[in-house]
Amino acid sequence: MNRTTLKADLSGEHIFTDKQLLLLLLPIVAEQLLNSFMGMADSMMVSNIGAEALSAVSLVDSINNLVVQAFSALATGGVIICSNYIGQKNYKNAKIAARQLIMVAAAISLGLMLLCLVFRMPLLHLIFGDVEEGVMTAAGIYFFYTLLSYPGVALTGAGAAIYRAQGNTRTPMWVAIISNVVNVGGNALLIWGFHLGVMGAAIATMFSRFFNAAVLLILLHNKDQMLSIRDYASFRPDRQKIHSILSMGIPNGIENSMFQFGKLAIQSTVSTLGTAAIAAQAMTNIFENVNGIGGVGVGIGLMTIVGQCLGAGRKDEAIYYTKKLFRWGQVVILLSCLGAYAIARPVAFLAGMDPDSGRLFVYMLGWITIVKPILWAPSFITAYGMRAAGDVRFSMIVSTCTMWLCRVTLSIFLCRFMGFGPMGVWIGMFSDWGIRGIIFSIRFVRRKWLEHKVV
């Protein structure tokens, strides 16, 4: 393996050594953790403006996260296709697929941006119509500037996916580090220096996303790497490659979108519980993302590994590495949960949270710290490996059903009719993780997920 590219070595007992796995996974985990910590820093800065500002950012981000997850699913389709071609050593088709991924990401993101520009305020009123007037005004400002960054989000995901498919996880990590520093620095300057409030936070986010995308696309122009993307003006649609990417990406997109729609439904319920509950739930969501993002990083890396194994015709290796990274993911989740809980109270104090919101936030995070290390890995890590094998529809159906039955329906029932408050959201989520984990574990053991043909 050279400095930047992971290549399968078929001469040994296993395709990848532990050292190669760590070199692949650590930059992904570091990047994901950094992104989450930067999100936490953003929220701390915004929270000092006031509870209305924090609530507005939280509500709009529940919409923005829907878009981010959709583009992430598209990038996932690109990772699966490209890594399978690389496993076959079919670098020509891998490069063609990478070019198609960039083209599709650009086209879809521009269309979505224009659609959201037209229906910006009606959409906010439809979803969050009962919120306080000050929160809605701030939400409208924040949504306007962040939706302009959708092409940056999509192209960042596509560029990072192309690098990860070929085993180069360091480059996306370093670009993400720089762009996050730009984001936080921009927040500090625009929020505190120019006193622009939520507008300043949104402009800083928009600029950092376009910066990230631009740098990745420029770096992909380097002809010395395995998948070099050049001559963007010469791109032409390739129906077969686009179909392959979308056949992997759309089920993931539906799954992720349904998950985010569920979060919007839950957020609408939480928004009726008052500003204190909204703020507590917002901070809890941020920390829950932080304590799970390391496991997500392991799962993202697993898709590249399983994709290359199956492209090389090594189903036994795909099973072996899925089990191995499942164990690694459990350790990462446990450590990150403990670490996030350890800093919860200091962060609540530094963020200037209202005492009632702060206490509720720490209480909910405590339950997450207990339950998540047990249930999260079976619910998610195994599914990453199965998706890389093309088993995306099964994952979509199971995840969508458990999410709507448990995470949404049960959560709303507990919040609105049983008086659990925002804690009802997390009880519903725990139920979702548990049921989904059992189903995915059965699917993995029976090996039906290996019967698909990706390319």
pLDDT at 172 over 50: yes
User: Are the C-beta atoms of 395 and 382 separated by less than 8 Å?
Assistant: no
Q: What is the pLDDT of residue 116?
A: 94
Nearest one of 99, 106, 108 to 237, comparing CA atoms? 99
Q: Is 19 exposed, middle or buried (0-12, 13-18, 19+ CB in 10 A)?
A: exposed
* Residue appearing with tokens 């820093």: 41
Nearest one of 443, 38, 61, 48 to 285, comparing CA atoms? 61
Residue 157 to residues 146, 209, 232, 270: CA-CA distances in angstroms? 16, 10, 17, 30
Residue 185 to residues 40, 42, 110, 201, 238: CA-CA distances in angstroms? 14, 10, 27, 10, 41
CA distance 41 to 56: 16
pTM: 0.80
pLDDT at 206 over 80: yes
Q: What is the pLDDT of residue 239?
A: 86
The average confidence (pLDDT) of the chain is: 86
In this structure, what token pair is assigned to residue 239?
């129906």
* Average pLDDT of the residues in 359-377: 91
* Average pLDDT of the residues in 410-414: 85
* Average pLDDT of the residues in 116-139: 88
* Average pLDDT of the residues in 45-59: 81
In this structure, what token pair is assigned to residue 243?
């179909």
Helix (H, G, I), strand (E, B) or coil at 226: coil
Task: Answer positive or negative: Cα dihedral of 273, 276, 281, 286.
Answer: positive
User: Are the C-beta atoms of 321 and 309 separated by less than 8 Å?
Assistant: yes
Helix (H) or strand (E) holding 187: helix 170-187
The 10s digit of each residue's pLDDT in 263-287 is 767 777 776 677 777 878 878 888 8
pLDDT at 443 over 80: yes
One-letter identity of residue 199: M
Other beta carbons within 10 angstroms of residue 342's beta carbon come to 10
The DSSP call for residue 223 is T
Helix (H, G, I), strand (E, B) or coil at 307: helix
pLDDT at 5 over 60: no
One-letter identity of residue 24: L
One-letter identity of residue 222: N
The 10s digit of each residue's pLDDT in 301-328 is 999 899 989 988 899 999 999 999 999 9
